[in-house]
Amino acid sequence: MSIPNSIDYTSILPMAVESRVRRRGFVPSNGASFVSGQNNIIEIPVSASAFLDTRHSFLRMNLLNTSGQSLGVDFGGGAGIVNRLRILQGGTVLSDCREYGRLMSSIILPCQSTEDSLATRSIKDGQRYGNAGGAGGAGGAAMAVALAAETSGAAVNTPTNAVDATCAAAAGSNYTFSIPLMNGLLGTTQDKLVPLFLLNSAPIVIEITLARAEDIGIWSGAVPNGYTINNVRYMASLVETGPAVEDQIRMVQQASDGRLVLNGVDYTHQTGNIPAGTSGRINLPIPVRKKSIKSVLFVGTSQTYLGGAGAQINKFNLSFGGHMNIGEYQLSFGSRRIPEIPIKFGDGTQADYSVLKSQYLEELAKCFGDTKSAHGLGIMSRINNSIFSAAGATASMAVASAAGAAMVPYRFCPFGIDCEAFQPDGKGGGALESGIDTASSSTPLQLVLDIEIGNVGPINTPAVVDMYVVHDSLYFIDSVGNLRVAL
């Protein structure tokens, strides 16, 4: 006879492993204060005789405003300050993601965060919520009355920051960001605790390259010489156990030919270019050699700013994506087409692509799980997704929401193509290497775009396409404490 769990008193919790959780802040080894455009690389060594719980660890850093101008950061918040994120050990590069701020601002956060998460991000990530600014002044002024009928929770679902929402112009004004890292080893995609005690004397190093001042948000004046980042800490959650547990881990390592394996999901960046006036089919090479490519995410925009050099400080350019007059798109891998039937996006007859994008959005949702989620795809809506007719032109980029005036939404247009074959649980079913294998052959992988003309005309400026290959990474800790990666 089967007894329900509610009256089965023989089912008890297992005995816990003797352990202690400790919080520790790791500091940079190459300085205490960093300035964009000058000493703009931050190196944080991480080592301890404990397990590292990456899902409960985060990066904390303070932005000190010495420019004399006010600032409203882009939708990526603190992640937009990180232009490049690398993880190393002993000089060996384990993970490298260029244009990290672009990835987070224009793809990951729009597709994975929710309106509720904006409430939290207004505290730790400099975002606007309920029309309130961050640490600045007038950015929290009242919303224009005429917009009341278009709001939910007293704000457009993704209102842009005011120009002073994050930092006021007063000398010494600052904002402290606390953000997780998206990375296969030390980020939120790492399921296992990292046994730091197995490593040799060479620590794991988190290397951050700061983004340019004109990219992180909107400034109130001319392009500043730079911004200052100080008080940087990697706030690590360390789990200390007794020697019996550590001995057990070493036994597992020896039984696995001296290698302990951890797996995670990483992002590799490539850039493609679409010339002005392009129409018809264009192939953008993706020269990435990986064993298991899960999906390809991409977003495009022009880099030609109205007003010339420096004009981008008046635009939220990191989060912006243009529809680039795309009619349909797919991947080409040798003779294969992924998917076999191209994904339809537009037909060249609609200046407003918002009425044609339902299929595109479902295909994008597959890259982050499945299409049946009751919660939808992040904060994407008709208000903020591919509603602008200029094909990737910077004139369509979102501007700051002025205090007391009607709110302006961010403008997103991320694309995605899912490549995984086995997805019973929405993302691989626990099977490793379930995507495209480009490492075992020289077969080229390309992004194929069909550019329409129709009523909207050709692309009027050159477009830059940021492509991110999402892939499995296997990390090996060998018997002498070296950490290596198999891609």
Q: Which residues pair with 412 in a beta bridge?
A: 385
Helix, strand, or coil (residue 147): helix
How do residues 105-134 score in pLDDT, each as one tens digit?
A: 999 999 998 877 888 888 899 888 765 544
pLDDT value at residue 304: 76
How do residues 409-441 score in pLDDT, each as one tens digit?
A: 888 999 999 998 765 444 444 445 568 889 888
Angstrom distance (rounded) from CA 372 to CA 393: 33
**Is the confidence at residue 153, as pLDDT, over 50?**
no
Angstrom distance (rounded) from CA 321 to CA 433: 30
How do residues 372-386 score in pLDDT, each as one tens digit?
A: 665 678 888 888 887
pLDDT value at residue 73: 92
Q: What percent of the chain has a predicted confidence (pLDDT) above 70?
A: 80
Helix, strand, or coil (residue 2): coil
Q: What separation in angstroms does the CA of 56 have from each of 66, 205, 237, 240, 408? A: 32, 18, 6, 14, 34
Q: Which tokens belong to 403?
A: 């205090």
pLDDT value at residue 312: 78
Buried b / exposed e across 220-241, counting CB within 10 Å, b at 16+? beebbebbbbeebbbebbbbbb
What integer is the mean pLDDT of 144-150?
45
pLDDT value at residue 154: 47
pLDDT value at residue 76: 94
Cβ proximity of 477 and 253 under 8 Å: yes
**Which pLDDT band, with edges at 50, 70 and 90, does 353 fall under?**
low
Taken in order of first residue, the domains within the chain and their CATH numbers are 18-486 (2.70.9.10)
Angstrom distance (rounded) from CA 101 to CA 76: 7
For the residues of 208-269, what is the DSSP string, one character each?
EEEPPGGGSEEESSSPPS--EEEEEEEEEEEEEE-HHHHHHHHHHHHHTTT-EEEEEEEEEE
How do residues 5-46 score in pLDDT, each as one tens digit?
A: 666 656 665 656 677 899 999 999 999 999 998 999 999 999
pLDDT value at residue 140: 47
How do residues 55-68 score in pLDDT, each as one tens digit?
A: 999 999 999 988 88
Angstrom distance (rounded) from CA 454 to CA 323: 14
pLDDT value at residue 286: 95
pLDDT value at residue 27: 97
**Is the confidence at residue 142, as pLDDT, over 60?**
no
How do residues 272-311 score in pLDDT, each as one tens digit?
A: 999 888 888 999 999 999 989 999 999 998 877 766 656 7
Angstrom distance (rounded) from CA 39 to CA 144: 42
Q: Which tokens belong to 52?
A: 């590292």
What integer is the mean pLDDT of 351-365?
73
**Which pLDDT band, with edges at 50, 70 and 90, does 145 fall under?**
very low
Run of H or E including 109: helix 109-112
pLDDT value at residue 221: 81
Angstrom distance (rounded) from CA 59 to CA 233: 6
Angstrom distance (rounded) from CA 273 to CA 2: 63
How do residues 185-237 score in pLDDT, each as one tens digit?
A: 998 888 899 999 999 889 999 999 999 998 999 988 877 888 999 999 999 99
pLDDT value at residue 165: 78
DSSP state of 333: E
Angstrom distance (rounded) from CA 440 to CA 414: 29
User: Residue length, the chain?
Assistant: 487
